[in-house]
Amino acid sequence: MSHPQYSTPPAKQGRPWVLIVGSVLLLISLLLCAVGGFLGVAPIMDLADQPEQTAPQTVQLAQGDSRAVWSQTAGASCTVRGPDAAMVTDTSTGESSASWGGKSFERVMSFEADEAGDHTVSCTAPFVVGEDMSVGGIVMATFGSMLCCFAVVILAVGLVLWLSRRRRA
C-alpha cells in the first residue's frame, strides 16, 4: 500500500502590499514633517533676522491682519495703538517662546488689526514685530511625526513578511 506524498504548496508570489503601504506612509509622513516644520519655523527665522526696536514702531496692516510682538527680555510689556489712536487688545493665547540663530524670543502679545492703517507698537524693552508661530504647521509636523512612527512599524512588518515569503520560495 502506498501513501501519497503531500508536498507543501509553493508560496504565493504576490506583491508585498504591506511593505508598499508602509513605504508610502513613510514618504507621506516625512513630507508632512518637512512642510509642517518649515511652516512652523519660517516666522521664527524672520524674527532672528530683524533688528530689535527700542523706539515705537509703526506697522502698516490691512483689516484682519495679525502680528505678534516678540522680545528677548522676559517680562516686557507692550501696547499697540490703531489708526484711530485707540488701544488694540491683546489676542495672545498662552505663552510662547522660540529660539533661532542664537536668539531666544518670548511672545509679549499678539494683535489683530480691526481696521486698515498704521498701527504703532511701543514696548518697555527692545522688541521685534513679526508673524506669530504657525499653529497649523506645528500640528502638521506633529501629525507627521506620529504617522512616521506608525509607518516604521508597518514597514518593518511588511519587510519581515516579504523576506519570510522569499525564503520559502
State how far Cα 52 lies from the chain centre. 25
Mean pLDDT confidence for 149-165: 92
pLDDT in tens, 113-153: 888 999 999 999 999 998 887 788 889 999 999 999 999 99
Lowest mean pLDDT among 64-78, 80-94, 109-123, 143-157: 80-94
Lowest mean pLDDT among 55-64, 76-85, 94-103: 94-103
What pLDDT sits at residue 47?
80
pTM above 0.85, yes or no: no
Report the largest interatomic distance among the alpha carbons of the chain, rounded to a whole angstrom: 108
pLDDT in tens, 38-60: 888 888 788 878 888 889 999 99
For residue 155, CA distances in Å to 54, 145, 158, 160, 164 come to 54, 15, 5, 9, 14
Chain position carrying cell 507627521: 144
Mean pLDDT confidence for 69-90: 86
pLDDT higher than 90, residue 27: yes
Confidence bin at 10 (pLDDT 50/70/90): low
pLDDT higher than 60, residue 93: yes
Number of Cβ within a 10 Å radius of residue 51: 7
pLDDT higher than 70, residue 7: no
